[in-house]
Structure 1
Amino acid sequence: MKVQEGLFLVAFFSLTYTQLVKGQHQPRKDCQTKCGNVTIEYPFGISSGCYYPGDDSFDLTCEEEKLLFGNIQVTNISHSGEIRIQKAVSYSCYNNNKFTDGASYNTRLRNLTLSDKNRFIAVGCNTYAFMIAIKDRNYSTGCLSLCDSPPPPNGLCSGEGCCQTSVPKGSNHFITRSRRFDNRSSITHFNPCFYAFLVENGTFHFNSSEDLMNLRNVKRFPVVLDWSIGSQTCEQAGSKSICGVNSKCSDSTTRTGYICECENGYYGNPYLTDGCQDIDECNSTIRRHNCTDHNTCENTMGGFHCKCPFGYHLNSTMSCELNDTPKDKPKYLEWSTVILGTTIGFLVILLGVGCILQSMKHQKYTKLRQQFFEQNGGGMLTQRLSGAGPSNVDIKIFTEEGMKKATNGYDESRILGQGGQGTVYKGILPDNSIVAIKKARIGDSSQVEQFINEVLVLSQINHRNVVKLFGCCLETEVPLLVYEFITNGTLFDHLHGSMFDSSLTWEHRLRIAIEVAGTLAYLHSSASIPIIHRDVKTANILLDENLTAKVADFGASRLIPMDKEELATMVQGTLGYLDPEYYNTGLLNEKSDVYSFGVVLMELLSGQKALCFKRPQSSKHMVSYFASATKENRLHEIIDGQVMNEDNLREIQEVARIAAECTRLMGEERPRMKEVAAELEALRVKTTKHKWSDQYPEENEHLIGGHILSAQGETSSSIGYDSIKNVAILDIETGR
């Protein structure tokens, strides 16, 4: 049993690891899968999150039931690395000796390339057509078509009324043109226009009686393009390839990169984690097996096998033959019956013992989970939540097994950071959503109270600039908290860390300050129960991909009863940010957060670490120096040089003044957080400038009397714009 359990666990964790690695690039669940009669399958998709990231060649649009690549219509997508489009025809038309109309196309295919399954064809008498293909080097090809009268309708495209040539593969930018090379008017009555176009092999058959006049009014022809994933080979991509389970990676034979294919016996989309499904070869409607009517087909994962009835065996022709019957068959059958009965009896006993042991193990595990639940403050949490008033957040209870899967067994490579309240891991939930999982330190019972307090506090908060709590797990040895995952590190990392370059502009810093101030004002004045954070610092301010601030780490926070303005507590916080008055008296009120926020403002302005302060009393001297520098117009001595310029000097002076007011020694002399947030927001609104910039990059190449359509796909121009910067009016009275 232990060997079997071991094999099962190895297989289970192997599958789990494969799903985690292979599922790193997957589409959203709500992606559009149809446009007209064309099926859209990953890695192609419509809108962000639905196509393979990092390559906009897979980004399609759907307009009026037509699937478009740029403005080129897509008719089919193949998992084998091909996509079919409808490509417009280049032409030039004449009336006797006068040019009347024409079009030549300059086409760019992003990262897709032409396939060698296409032909370049010219239709017309006394005409020439050419194609210029551009990639690593320029390549030109073309052909001549000659005739003085309509050729016989023999279907041949061999130079009389129609000519063709092969197309080089690998080009992602090409130009097609057609022109006549004499001025004879004798052919105009049966051949007024000359055509040049790309077309998939075997899909165009020349008919002189119909095609020389108007090409049967066909404006577009099917063209095959090649695509692949990335620019690495399968060996180079390794485990980072996006090929799913039951699929294999193959190097592209037409270009760089690789493609994915389902293994034999499977079908579906190999680019999805579980896209390749088993084929039931034994299904009567499919019947992909060679078992005869005398034996039974049994489906297996990725295959099948034929099974004969008892007493028969399978021969080389997949037919069942009767086994040779020995003379002592009755004795053989008797011994077989005894052995079979003994084996079955032993297995029944073994199964019974296994069930009893499993039941005992389950009871022991259930009891241990209940013990951990109580030990981690589950009862305390339930009691406090029931008495804390209405909650704004639905707290989900996660299982121990779910947390292990999400963190890959708490693998060290998943650690995002470690601090005073424990370790934070990157977790991936079954729905592929990414979360941050905080785990308390083992053996530190003081952390349990802080974890329960954090759940209690966050259950009262629903604010866009507060890290969202999804739930907790209390049935483990130490409690776990599950938060939304913020991708861009902390404000401390951006100001002082090595993970990010210190490139925060003044606009970024001012906006972050406004968002944090508004959040603290909401906690103090607008939450259902007033909340004092108690540990405001740059390391507890997270930044998302848009550099939007998210206040985190509420383990030290306190709920203040509505009828009290301050609360006596044990002093808690971080040196350098800790309010000296709170440190000396132990009396907590909202002005303690105001002081800490003032230090954060100084850190944003100066770029210096607040933690260089050795003791709360000594920080007074640094704060006083900052205040005096502000008052005596010596800000240039302490302000970060990369953010100060003539345009924002006044704003920096105003923010420095606010920082100095926030860090006054006496709490009663400091402004309220609500007033600080309003001042900062008013400063931004007053100095916000609107900028418009329109760019219209356009490259046109004109024919004499005609026109060339060029750009992405077949458009004539591309337009770029910068949107007006929206001025968000901060509402500190409401959360979200």
Structure 2
Amino acid sequence: MTLFLGVAVLALQLATVAAGGGAAPPPPLGCPTTCGGVHVEFPFGIGPNCSLSDGFSVECVRGTPLLRLGTAEQTVKLLGVDLGHGKIRTTNAIASQCLDERTGKLVNTSWAGLNATALPYRFSDEDNRFFAVGCSGLVLLTGRASGVDEEVMSGCISVCYGNKSIRSGSCSNTGCCETVITKGLSSYLLAMGKLTDGTPVNRCIYAALMEAASFSFEVAYATTDKFYRKNNGTVPLVLNFVVGNECKEAQASGGYACAGDHSVCVDAVDGPGYVCNCSHGYTGNPYLRNGCIDIDECSPKNQGCPVGMICTNFPGGYNCSCPEGEYKTNKNGVLICEPDKKRSSLSVSVIIIIGVSGGLVIGVISMLITYLVRQRRALADVKRKYFERHGGLLLYEELSSRQGNAFTIYTEEQLDNATNGFDDSNVLGCGGHATVYKGRVPTAGGGDLLVAIKRCKVMDETSNKEFGKEMLILSQVNHKNIVKLLGCCLEVDVPMLVYEYVPNGTLYQLIHGAVVSFATRLRIAHESAESLAYLHSFASPPILHGDVKSTNILLDESFMAKVSDFGASILAPTDEAQLVTMVQGTCGYLDPEYMQTCQLTEKSDVYSFGVVLLELLTGKKPLCLDGPEEERSLSARFVAAMREKRVEEIVDEQVKSEARGELLEEITQLALECLQMCGSDRPTMKEVAERLGGLRRLHQHPWTQDAVEIEEVRCLLHGSPESISFEMVRCQQ
């Protein structure tokens, strides 16, 4: 037996498809989509850069779409693309073996089989069959399949018992034979031969791997060369394709080709790799963004629901329902709508019940609306009474008469919205008498302003009566080292105050939480003293703070001091009846004279400031309950240290290293004067501010500067306000 050896190879190498990583780039605009009546969709493409990779590139040559097989020069004609099933139709050559009339020997005709070694394709075992036509022919097919280590083999025999034995349409080894191919077949070899040396019925045997649906056997195929001539030497062939490695691997590596929002990855059934499909209820191209579109199952074309049912389409699906008064049922596997007899019989009763129930509901709603209106009016009356009790009418009239007034009277609703219902996440600080919240209030320009809102818990009756009058005075306070009071809310039981927001925390946090230079401490002390001096000496009428402490001195973006909480202060008394007030202040800072007399004066603020000055100098807390009784009060320890000339023992190391001896002596002396037991022996805040200003200039003064100028600063430090001018003249002489 003489054998014919033909070759047809189709090897799968996915690396060429998924190389490059990242999501598959969309085709550029302007890429052709048809050639010779064949619709070419991405990932296939006509022209350079129009396909997912070289393995999907199509050339349009004189109206014929040609698919180049990898790096090989061989091309095949593209007949069609089926993206939904991951298939393409192309062409395959018919192999033949004929008897030479002159020599009587078998001759293998030359033919061009598929020869691709780097493409993302496999022969479809579902769509293709291997056919052989002729008489006394033996055809063997050996090849490689994915997932199978050894070669696979199949074949068939075609014999003839005279022309009358051959029947058209029947390919059952008489004049024609066929065999299935192995799943995942990626390459194959052919071997053809004659079973006998006698004269055959016909002179040729023809064989081809081809699309089964395209083949219909005729008697003439076995006795003539009609099969070869009718197909011009080629037959249709179906190939499965994949666009990358397995789904999980492609998604993890980034080389993922399923680009659409409703595109899903499907692993190939005949070997490694995956294709993309539109998810259920969608159709289109799953390899393009927005390529999968919703299927309208309710359109006249699709008719998703049976006749008589109501069809409702939604993204990815649809729903079938029945008209009012009917119900859905399944009869013999078909959904239909039938009248609801029970519902019809009950309709009259239902109407009566609905009528009665509707009347009751309307009555209840009317009563509820009336109740809510009354409650709202009552609430409005309560808010109006609070507003009037706190002096809101007087405050409103006075503010209205001012030009360019920036003070605002807020409603409770505005401040509730500003703090998200006074949520705990917005709490800036909490004390025994009040809680401070961070919030945002609207401005006249249409934007938002970050503010601090103080919500007091209680208020004495005396302050209640004078609150509006005090707000009017406090609204005029304007000093760079005082937290600006921006507004208030008067329509609540205890009024709320709105201040400018200062972002960098308190002086207490700075002193007891960080290393601070002496220059910074001295500057903050001077700025704080300036603000208190302003309240005592330049506000009209004068204002007493009443609770000076390091936690009430805030620091802005540039760490400039801003004294806060003076909204809890009182106006300077005009007669003796006003001197007696409730005890206020903080332990450790309280004026001992005030504790005895219950009379708050400007010298009470001086004493409290002296304790703040001690905190800056020592870095210690004003009250320490853990130590011995004689060391619990910082002011008492300091006075004792000054008396025994051992003040350097309690002064902070940072201060001692940066402050010169005379400067340290001057500032500790000033602190001692502020802490005098008798208020009349203490300096005023104006004097304290001037002396701290002089100490700042002395600290900043270079050692090489003229000694006369240093002496002038010393004169300023030691001279009283009345004698400053005289002392300056004397020192200059």
Q: Same fold (TM over 0.5)?
A: no
Higher relative contact order (CA 8 A, sep 6+): 1
Instruction: Please give the TM-score of this superposition, normalised by the length of structure 2.
Output: 0.43
Look at both structures and tell me which one has the larger radius of gyration over its CA atoms: 2
TM-score (norm 1): 0.43
